[in-house]
Structure 1
């Protein structure tokens, strides 16, 4: 039976899993790091952070795709008690600058040039609007002292990863040991930003014990072991790829195979070459593989376990994943940024029931489904999903008002999602109270998109909803009303270009519908439910 690390801090985890010795911890192309060497490599990064002035409680941002460097950058900061702020690789410079400003991150580690985009240039151009001052590593972000590029130099005031690590050699063993020993289970380990209904990013804080605890629960539910080779396509900047991916693999001694993008050919080759056993992800990953014209040419017989989650799945997907892709077990889970894993399919669950429900609450978590008055609804009836337990966030970073709005005085987190519990205590998601929709596994909050559209000189008002999409699950549709006195009415292409300059690509509406007015309630509020019904 697999022993899962009981560690409640990253330094303890690294020390614990060292026992796996020469077993590979990470395989990233030609880079192969054993569990014996992982702790040494992470400590090397930790020394570099200390040499750069990062201290316990500081924030370190990472803006990079799935790769070994991301793992080392993240764990190195967490090992000395800094909180990591991951940034979505699809962010524009404006989005990244906003989160760096709000979190007051002191160091940014990035992969400049990923997908042909210069993160450092985008950031500098956007941050210049934030009252630049002389001496800032990035003018306009006074708290950001250093930018580190995993591959080369990050422009003026930046350094490369190798030079960053070399500077860490000045930190002696005793200084490092004191920093590692100072980390406690209740320290904030990460701040994951989510925009929410207001369109203003809120930083979801988790403790060291929580991130490791949720990873351990996921590993147990997936029956991870050192025999597993885990291909992680889900981004490390997202809880799915980070906590249910990277950290879950580490607590079980599994081997991590990071993949920077969803490239069907590359993924099929990795599965065949490395004998991948575990491959969770959003339905888009599996429909892309199932539809691949040369699927039959690849040996996928190693595939053991998958979770197809984060967005609505086609009705036949689970059966196709077993019968076409060859997975031995396909499951579901339910979670949010504020509680990354709350439920998970039971071991031995039938395929039909696993597709219909997300399973019961994981250990240490409670679920209620309540009506508008906060009363529990009968089994099989819809209501809002409430969560309470060990894995619910500590709160929103420096935002007690927003925290108290979603976590009541009894500790119940009000998710805004609608669901029902069946006779087995398994949760079925049926709708969302909030307007949020999911595009290819990424949350899109209409208020954020509407706030951007409001800045267009011709736009008077807009309303954004999610509409079904065969490939991505959902995409955005924006209903737009123009000001009455404008001379030029922009078309969809112009509105799309305007949004692309300010929003990550998955947030940009796929469609624009020009309207003279909207369906409204008596108070004037737009009836989005009516727009969704019409769509």
Structure 2
């Protein structure tokens, strides 16, 4: 697993690139050798064991930077403890709600700034400041191999993005982690990628865990980005010229400006998951690559299942409408086929019966990389998992005649006035390039578009022209700042919370956000 792969890969002498500092290791010109990372993780493991941490202990890792999270989590897993990785974007109130139904965690590893807040948590043994632990481990001999455990043993606990309420903790076994990691290697093997792989997404998400393991196993030097600012990212991409780039869909939208500036010229393979990505963004990013057949892997996934389905976009062909009428374009967002050897997908009606191709229903998945349980919501597993292992994703969609999955919306967010909010948002962003984000909500059986612009006011004349054949009627959009749209740690729009704020603004007669049209 990750700890052993750190030591194995460190023999190559490879250096990884980090745009941030760490308490555990010092970077040189933004570079850190894998040997230094392995030694730091080995010393952390030795310290944790000497302090009484044992196999199976659940240990919260609530840190700020990816590199420190890697080292702390790897050190814990080396001795068989289970890291509970919490996003630095979470507040203490949410963390308390997430951990309240769970038996007390055995220890908490966090920052000095959070120590006082963590007194609200129920912890069996100890709560420590990470910087102090690093100092205490400095004189120890590093552990060099991990404890052998069965594939069914828990490996890590992460959490969902929390788009609809309290984030659910998600536990994964060692076997599921290994399987998902090997699935992640497929794009690299197909394209025979060489050179650096740049990644920028939540460092506590399971996607990060399996991506890290895949990079180590394939000996791919990684560029780990904590800063999403396009200017800072552009400098790093121009310097190190990665051939692989992965980020959240909303992060890629912010990075569209890097394409004409030449920062993406070296990228041969793009990949995104977590949420759908708009076709125009895919087209723009691919156009920024100098490779004539650059590829963009759009993966439809979920925390519980990892990759579910995928579609491959090719430079020069991505984003084209191929003469399709507006009715077809409004009918959903194509997310592709199930991942071979990894996932099976079926569409069922509200009674759980499979439906014919072209009929919409609940999307259910069966996967070798399935999660184990929700430690804080075990009843939700029972409610959403069939006895024969089919997981209800909570999404609504259909399969077309080629067995490809078409995503419509979340089951709880289905529209009555249109087939798919996601599809309408794709159309808006395609037709109005000045939009940075578009979210289609529904209130009193009428569509309510909420938009944010890249810069400057929204051209209402252009809006009316672009939406003449869309079911918005005469309703003008609610224009907000992008920062006022509530999002999860992975960049997903929290639609339920946004809808509440919009509803409150209607009820109070006060604009949701004061933005001049």
Give, in whole Å, the separation in 1 of the partners of 2:219 and 2:388: 37
SS in 2 for 1:372: coil
Give, in whole Å, the separation in 1 of the partners of 2:135 and 2:243: 37
Maintained 8 Å contact 1:346/1:359: no
Maintained 8 Å contact 2:347/2:398: yes
Maintained 8 Å contact 2:107/2:123: no
Q: What is the TM-score normalised by the length of structure 2?
A: 0.70
C-alpha displacement of 1:336: 1.0
User: Closer, same or farther in 2 for the Cα pair 1:68/1:370, shift >3 Å?
Assistant: same
Residue 115 (structure 2) pairs with residue 120 (structure 1)? yes
More deviation, 400-409/277-286: 277-286
Aligned position for 2:283: 319
Give, in whole Å, the separation in 1 of the partners of 2:246 and 2:492: 23
Aligned position for 2:267: 303
Aligned position for 2:236: 270
2:134 counterpart (147, 162, 170): 162
Aligned position for 2:39: 40
SS in 1 for 2:135: helix
Give, in whole Å, the separation in 2 of the partners of 1:246 and 1:409: 33
Aligned position for 1:22: 13
Aligned position for 1:418: 396
1:147 counterpart (128, 147, 158): 128
User: Closer, same or farther in 2 for the Cα pair 1:267/1:195, shift >3 Å?
Assistant: closer
Structure 1 alignment gaps of length 5 or more: 1-8, 113-117, 125-137, 151-159, 438-467, 480-495, 518-535
Q: What pairs with 1:71-150 in structure 2 (closer than 5 Å)?
A: 71-103=70-102, 104-111=104-111, 118-121=113-116, 123-124=117-118, 138=119, 140-143=121-124, 145-150=126-131
User: Closer, same or farther in 2 for the Cα pair 1:81/1:25, shift >3 Å?
Assistant: farther
Structure 2 alignment gaps of length 5 or more: 21-27, 321-332, 416-427, 430-434, 445-482, 508-517
User: Closer, same or farther in 2 for the Cα pair 1:63/1:505, shift >3 Å?
Assistant: farther
C-alpha displacement of 1:270: 0.7
Cα deviation 1:240-275 (Å, max 9, x = unaligned)? 3333x3233222211222222311111001101111
Give, in whole Å, the separation in 1 of the partners of 2:299 and 2:5: 24
Maintained 8 Å contact 2:253/2:281: yes
SS in 2 for 1:183: coil
Cα deviation 1:156-201 (Å, max 9, x = unaligned)? xxxx24224237x2x786xx75xx2333322111112237698344
More deviation, 196-205/261-270: 196-205
Give, in whole Å, the separation in 2 of the partners of 1:99 and 1:219: 32
C-alpha displacement of 1:207: 0.5
Q: What pairs with 1:352-371 in structure 2 (closer than 5 Å)?
A: 352=318, 356-371=334-349
Maintained 8 Å contact 2:98/2:166: no
Equivalenced residue count is: 422
User: Closer, same or farther in 2 for the Cα pair 1:190/1:226, shift >3 Å?
Assistant: same
Aligned position for 1:242: 209
Maintained 8 Å contact 2:41/2:142: no
C-alpha displacement of 1:12: 4.6
Maintained 8 Å contact 2:3/2:75: no
Maintained 8 Å contact 1:74/1:84: yes
SS in 2 for 1:190: strand
Maintained 8 Å contact 1:14/1:39: yes
Residue 177 (structure 2) pairs with residue 211 (structure 1)? yes
User: Closer, same or farther in 2 for the Cα pair 1:143/1:102, shift >3 Å?
Assistant: farther
